Amino acid sequence: MKRVVLGVSASIAAYKAATIVTKLKNQGVDVHVIMTQNSTQFITPLTMQILSENPVHVDVMTEPSVERINHIYLAQNSDLILIAPTTANTIGKIANGIADDMLSTVCMATPPSTPKFYAPAMNTKMYEQIITQENMAKLARYGYQEIKPVVERLACGDIGIGAMAKVPEIVDRVMAELNSVRV
């Protein structure tokens, strides 16, 4: 069974992560959810735990097992990392090597050969900001693959690029990678 770590950062699109979990589980994927502290204001860890049938990880300092270090275990025992939604904050942290929460720490500990995808979700101005674009260019150099956001009405009322990609596209990209033959 393939294992995916799904990182959820603090965007209104966090509620869509529940559907991502469900669709991946329906395809036989073992999903382990990591939520940033602020993402828990949009969707609860309990919801994600029920859907994933696995404990949800929020605090890097919580070690559920004395036999292993949680963030190292998750990073080294996953077939793919997916961060959906991904905020500008999370993009900046990972691109600049900041590991100050469970999600960014797992990303730092993930082997370079593990496929890594992220689906940005933010206001158009934030997405187009040169700092965000430079951070995403760094992520690309580090092997992260962007699942591009779409143009639609955003939570702030603006219409523009920044809405998280549609769930079926995200799931299709993940499944295509998991099912690809890696030599």
Domain ranges for the chain, please list them: 3-179
Provide the token pair at 55. 């404990």
CATH fold of 3-179 reads Rossmann fold (3.40.50)
**Residue (of 60, 13, 68) closest to 36 by Cα position:** 60
Query: What pLDDT sits at residue 119?
Result: 98
Position 60 confidence tier, pLDDT thresholds 50, 70, 90: confident
Query: What pLDDT sits at residue 66?
Result: 64
Backbone angles phi, psi at 83, to 5 degrees: -115, 110
Residue 95 has pLDDT above 60, yes or no: yes
Position 96 confidence tier, pLDDT thresholds 50, 70, 90: very high
Residues forming the active site: 156
84, 11 Cβ separation under 8 angstroms:
no
Provide the token pair at 85. 């939604």
Position 181 confidence tier, pLDDT thresholds 50, 70, 90: low
